[in-house]
Amino acid sequence: MSTTETLPRSDGDGISDRASNHKMRWWILAVLGVAQLMVILDNTIVNIALPTAQHDLHFSNADRQWIVTAYSLAFGSLLLLGGRIGDIIGRKRALLIGLVGFAVASAIGGASVSFPMLVIARTIQGAFGALLAPSVLALLTTTFSDPAERGKAFGIYGGIAGAGGALGLLLGGILTSYASWRWTLFVNLAFAAVATVGALLWLKNDRAADHDPLDFPGLFLVTGGLFSLVYGFSHAETTAWSNPFTIGFLILGVVLLGAFAYLETRAKYPLLPLRIVINRTRGGSMLAMLFASIGIFGVFLFLTYYLQGTLGWSPVKTGLGFLPMVAALATMAQVSNRFLLPRFGPKAIVPIGLLVDAAALYMLHMVGLHTAYASHVLPYLILLGFGFGLSLAPSFSTGTLGLAPHDAGVGSATLNTSQQVGGSIGTALLNTLAAGAVTAYMVGRAATPANLRAAALHSYTTAFLFSSLIFVAGAVVAGLVLERGNLAALAKGTTEVSATHT
């Protein structure tokens, strides 16, 4: 087998369609931002509503985790398929189908009268989210080609992607406290309606960017592998790392993904062409996204526990407490993507951003039972926002840099997969470490209320400390893998053309 490089196929690239989209590009960015925010919010907005939903629908603590896991399993395992479908049927069609499907699933979830009905709705949400998310990023990649405008657009997108989790906590708290847990799902109807109308008004019908046959063996291997990995990590969170099912699913996931990687080197029409991930700029950005997504859950999950469980804050006040981080992230996302990234490139700024986050989390791990938010939490939240703006936001831009139109969907899906798998790893790993910290702290101590509060605090600070170490590891990996150079030079080196396999 040999590979020869050719120019992009004129019949599949939809150049005139992209030109039409370009005229309405800033309106399109608003539509894509709303769609992306809806998907990101659902990773956290439902979490705050879980205790209320559990009481209403009468399901157990063991079952409660499935409300989160069902969404993660479907979303994480189907992302590459969703990206490929967008390449085949066109990104506008994929976006609209994803929006409508996500909205219908949200309506079913909000109207749920039983636990199985809610789990099924969350699974369908995840499946349509896996179609929606890659289409959003692919449309952004193909719409904004000018380097200056691309920086601004990806700065906004990166700010939304990074801040969505915190905004989900705030909105979830408000809706649960003042309306009903059901509105944490019904609210998606408003997001989907706005994005659908905008897509119909301003997006042109793009032609299919890829006419190659679907790689079914690769599809089954990668879907099965990602499902097994996400399920294995979720199972570890609720049982133990030594549990036979946990070990079995994690091993199966690694084996299936290894077989997928080998198959893609041999396939005539691979589901994931290796040129997408072996490029150092894109591959390094995906690795940075993976590590950042593992560590970021130490912020949202355990800082939420700390503010509510230790300091006694309400869900709404907790959400408001995260807003300074959101503001810092949004500001630095624009600065990094518009000014720093074009001049210095990702190798110079992404590792620094990850190290800034590591420093902030290390400082957070020193909070106490009666720590003041203004002096010992707020400064480090702002520092975290700056770090995420320096690392996460540029990674979205450079993780899709230079992708040819027919690779944009699956390339975007791969970047989203890094984020989703990282989140699954982080949730399982940090929850396990936190639970172990509680057990270790209580050895030789009586189970008094004071000791239990101290043990809970120890679990949170342990999670912050390990999150800090994860960010340090991510900075080292990103620094080693990412290629040196400014954005213009890297863009020339990453520009891909279609490959014909013979």
Q: What is the pLDDT of residues 251-273, one digit of tens each?
A: 999 999 999 999 999 998 899 99
| Nearby residues of 450 by Cβ (< 8 Å), 6 or more positions away | none
Token pair in block for residue 69: 């896991």
Least confident span in 269-283, 290-304, 336-350, 368-382:
290-304
Q: Closest Cα partner for 374 from 366, 384, 382?
A: 382
Q: 14-214+271-496 belongs to which homologous superfamily?
A: MFS general substrate transporter like domains (1.20.1250.20)
Specify burial of residue 370 (Cβ count, 10 A radius: 0-12, 13-18, 19+). Answer: exposed
Q: Return the axis-axis angle of helices 25-41 and 115-143, rounded to nearest 10°.
A: 150
pTM of the model: 0.87
Cβ atoms of 313 and 307 within 8 Å: the answer is yes
**Residue reference for tokens 């992209």:** 18
Count of CB atoms within 10 A of residue 61's CB? Answer: 10
Q: Closest Cα partner for 457 from 322, 305, 313?
A: 305
At residue 142, the pLDDT reads 86
Residue 18: pLDDT over 50: yes
Average pLDDT of the segment spanning 375-393: 94
Residue 407: pLDDT over 70: yes
Q: Closest Cα partner for 151 from 396, 452, 414, 498?
A: 396
Q: Is 481 helix (H, G, I), strand (E, B) or coil?
A: helix
Cβ atoms of 281 and 346 within 8 Å: the answer is yes
Domain extents in the chain: 14-214+271-496, 215-270
At residue 212, the pLDDT reads 76
In DSSP notation, 439-477 reads HHHHTTS---HHHHHHHHHHHHHHHHHHHHHHHHHHHHH
pLDDT-derived band at 426, boundaries 50, 70, 90:
confident
**Residue reference for tokens 């209580």:** 442
Q: What angle do CA 159, 163, 167 make, to 5 degrees?
A: 140
**Residue reference for tokens 């027919």:** 406
At residue 252, the pLDDT reads 97
At residue 13, the pLDDT reads 47
φ, ψ dihedrals at 398, nearest 5°? -80, -20
At residue 435, the pLDDT reads 87
Least confident span in 14-18, 132-136, 393-397, 414-418:
14-18
Residue 497: pLDDT over 50: no
At residue 134, the pLDDT reads 94
In DSSP notation, 309-333 reads IIS---HHHHHHHTHHHHHHHHHHH
At residue 209, the pLDDT reads 61
Measured between alpha carbons, how far is 89 from 208 in angstroms, rounded to an integer? 5
pLDDT-derived band at 3, boundaries 50, 70, 90:
very low
At residue 6, the pLDDT reads 34
DSSP state of 3: E
Measured between alpha carbons, how far is 310 from 306 in angstroms, rounded to an integer? 5
| Nearby residues of 232 by Cβ (< 8 Å), 6 or more positions away | 245, 246, 247, 248, 249, 250, 252, 253
Q: Closest Cα partner for 405 from 207, 133, 209, 149?
A: 209
Least confident span in 44-48, 97-101, 277-281, 351-355:
44-48
Average pLDDT of the segment spanning 387-396: 93
Arithmetic mean of pLDDT over the chain: 88
Cβ atoms of 406 and 9 within 8 Å: the answer is yes
At residue 12, the pLDDT reads 43
At residue 502, the pLDDT reads 36
Q: Closest Cα partner for 340 from 391, 269, 283?
A: 391
At residue 262, the pLDDT reads 94
pLDDT-derived band at 359, boundaries 50, 70, 90:
very high
Token pair in block for residue 422: 């990282």
What pLDDT, in 10s, does the model give residues 5-16?
333 333 444 455
Dihedral sign, CA of 82, 106, 330, 23?
Answer: positive
Q: Closest Cα partner for 484 from 355, 390, 349, 345?
A: 345
At residue 404, the pLDDT reads 83
Least confident span in 2-11, 117-126, 196-205:
2-11
Cβ atoms of 411 and 436 within 8 Å: the answer is no
pLDDT-derived band at 1, boundaries 50, 70, 90:
very low
At residue 22, the pLDDT reads 64
Cβ atoms of 391 and 292 within 8 Å: the answer is yes
Token pair in block for residue 258: 């290894």
Measured between alpha carbons, how far is 264 from 261 in angstroms, rounded to an integer? 5
Q: Is 360 helix (H, G, I), strand (E, B) or coil?
A: helix
